Amino acid sequence: MTKHVFIGFTYATIFGLTFMFTKIGLNSIHPIGLIAFRFTIASLVLIILHVLKIIRIQLTKKHIALIAPLVFFQPILGFSSEAFGINFSQSSEAGMMIALIPIIVAVLSFLFSHEKPSLKQSLSIVLSVSGVIFIQLMNVRTVSGFSLIGAILMFISAFAAASFNMFSRKLSTKVSPVQITSLMMFTGAIVFMSWYATILVLNQDLSSFFQPFLSISFVFSIFYLGVIASIIGFFLVNYNLKHLPAHISSIFANVATITSIIAGVIFLDEVLYWYHLLGALMIILGVLGVILFRRKKEASIRLKQPIKA
């Protein structure tokens, strides 16, 4: 469990920083273009790793059929709504909406999965998400840049991410994390690059295809999004979902909220208010509660098991 907690905090930190890098990247390119290059670069790196025999990508028709519902939610629906949502929102605000993922996963787990959170874990999830809601409500009052459209788009992205968690957990016994991550990247590259090329053709602007790469900040942002976030981040998520229930793996999304707030304050000159700190404390206590009550539940199960002679 300790290893998976460390992995959870790692990918939460990685994804928390994606809001900032996405915001930076959007200064140089259309939102769909940013996603297109993100997944294209990720796909190229995965192919290189496969050729070098560092990883093995083996996608059959059966794999593709199984993973198809998952890739609809993530990356297609999730990333398109997130990119446009971030374009309307502050980095910290976007991260806060994404923190609703755990409670959506908990609801979906209750409705469709046998891996239901315990009462104490549910209360911990509510505490963590209450911190998010508290910050969001205070933002509406104090942040002049609040956008209702951005909030709605980010909620759609959160719902897509929660659905992805459920599907990935369900597929974990049939498909490896490498296969799931690879098909996600390949699908994202094909769908969003086709979408971006269509936009450029309609605007008669194909000559600007590689123009964003003239910006150093864009190069750094697309490298982070394509390699660090897309490959490493999603592999760690899919790996954890293979070993942990979705409602536990998804709770780390709230840590990403805190990371996004810190990144927005340090690098994007966004303002840190007192309610950010109070909300962050609620988030952390909730995350720790889910983890600790999981451990107690596992210990209780082990004690109840008969001792073999």
Q: Residue 268: is its pLDDT beyond 60?
A: yes
**Amino acid residing at 112:** F
Task: Output 85 or 309, whichever has higher pLDDT.
Answer: 85
pLDDT band at 307 (very low <50, low <70, confident <90, very high): very low
Give the per-residue pLDDT at 305. Answer: 47
pLDDT band at 259 (very low <50, low <70, confident <90, very high): confident
Give the per-residue pLDDT at 308. Answer: 45
pLDDT band at 50 (very low <50, low <70, confident <90, very high): very high
Q: Residue 142: is its pLDDT beyond 60?
A: no
Q: Residue 124: is its pLDDT beyond 80?
A: yes
Q: How far apart are CA 163 and CA 78, in angstroms?
A: 10
Q: How far apart are CA 7 and CA 10, in angstroms?
A: 5
Q: How far apart are CA 282 and CA 244, in angstroms?
A: 23
Pair of tokens at residue 158: 């959160």
- Which residues touch 229 (CB under 8 Å, ≥6 apart)? 14, 15, 17, 18, 21, 38
56 DSSP assignment: -
For the stretch 38-48, pLDDT in tens is: 999 999 999 99
Q: Residue 19: is its pLDDT beyond 70?
A: yes
Give the per-residue pLDDT at 299. Answer: 47
Pair of tokens at residue 276: 């950010």
Task: For the chain, give the mean pLDDT.
Answer: 83
For the stretch 188-220, pLDDT in tens is: 999 999 999 999 999 988 889 999 999 999 999
Give the per-residue pLDDT at 296. Answer: 57
Give the per-residue pLDDT at 139. Answer: 67
Q: How far apart are CA 139 and CA 146, in angstroms?
A: 7
- Which residues touch 177 (CB under 8 Å, ≥6 apart)? 235, 238, 239, 241, 242
Q: How large is the average pLDDT for residues 250-267?
A: 78
Q: How far apart are CA 51 and CA 45, in angstroms?
A: 10
